[in-house]
Structure 1
Amino acid sequence: INEAKSPDVTKTLNMFNLQIPKGFQERVNRLRKELCEISREAQLIIDNIGAYLVVEGCGIDLVGPESSEGIPQENDTLLPYALDVMTAPEETHDLTEAILDYDMAGLLSVVTDPANSSGQRVNTYRKLGDYIQISQEGQTAVSIKRELQGHSHQNGPRTYQIAQRIRSLTQVVRMSQPRNLRLVTPDWIYKLPKQEHERLVRMCSKLNLQVMNDLWNMEMWSQELPIEGGNVCGGTNIMRNAVQEL
């Protein structure tokens, strides 16, 4: 629930002849005002499974989930990071565009430069992960780690693990370009316990599937509208709805 009004949602409800009681609308409006008193940046996510408050970098389960798999738990610090991965806009340029495919030294020069943004470094680690995946067909993990360390003069096993983890994460969200990430960094990815990283991947996978499902439903619905009617729900509403269903 965001402070901004959402007329598109009202139009959508009217299209399906849904009757919204006045009392319900009044309660939602009161809740919106109370939410703004907590934080103007707060988000309230409600679905048929539970309710979650996302505020100040923390996701809080308000009612207790019926199922723990893929559902944010109380004080779940992973939820804001999952939202960062899913909603961050793409950056306008890609530092790896001029680097030849599988040029390990070139890719490592990007990820080891602290002046580069987190989004650029994450995207470059993604490409390193692709390189590692192909190299594993003819090399051992030990030799690849040595190669990484030789080109960068940095901890080879650390670079290897970050690249592998970021590759698995970006695959489920279909990330192919740098994104303007605010929270997710390569160092944070590396420090995540193994189980937490796997849970982050599952959480992002679930959210991405919901987005794809919403896009499909919107496409089917828009085909039924008259040409002059247009599509009354934009991409922002689709992402908002998907996050609310997480």
Structure 2
Amino acid sequence: MGALDGKVVLVTGGGNGIGRDCALIAAQEGAKVVVNDLGAGLKGDDAGSAGPAEEVAALIRANGGQAISNSDSVTDLDAVYGMVEQAKKEFGGLHAVINPAGILRDVMFHKMTEADWDAVIAVHMRGSFNVARATIELFREQNDGAYMFFTSTSGLFGNIGQANYGAAKMGIAGLSRIIAMEGARNNVRSNCLAPVAWTRMTQSVPIKDEAAAERRKVMAEKIRADQPARFSVAMVSPA
């Protein structure tokens, strides 16, 4: 028996990093998984590809699980509604969303362009709104739904060069808290995680000094993406 037996889970950003492990672990725990990933680069400024999402979905199926892929963008509300319909058509419903999809456009604030700001806000803040708005009525009606959103220490504590990212991540924390408050009477739960893990996103942060280099070395050796992923899967389980 798995922690997510009988559940259908949408994982955004499921082609890489924490999202990939969330999708794989959710499937191991018995969930039917919709693996969403745009397949774009870290800055979100290329055309994208269906490859990463389908690779993860195929791996789940090869291991005896059930999964389908989706390569639409979380920045498009209609596309997210499409993900919900895809889950309902293929698997008969949807019970949880794990939403680590994200990009970075790191730059000092006095050099930040509107495009740098808008792109990050669109994926993180607007994307979190979209996945919640496209599912909240379904979750309330069936009295069964769970969200795992992703905030960041870049918002909680601050990080130089990440004003856009930090602002979006703090907004997500507030969004998650209020969804949880409003959803409690309908068994709709929402939680938020500020993870640290060795992924392509953390690898992209510049090393400024020897202390940062040492922290990076420890992270690469000891802080794996599957650790916050396991916690995320546990938090959307009925238990």
TM bin, normalised by shorter chain, reads under 0.3
- Normalised by the length of structure 1, the TM-score is 0.25
Higher share in strand: 2
- Normalised by the length of structure 2, the TM-score is 0.26
Higher share in helix: 1
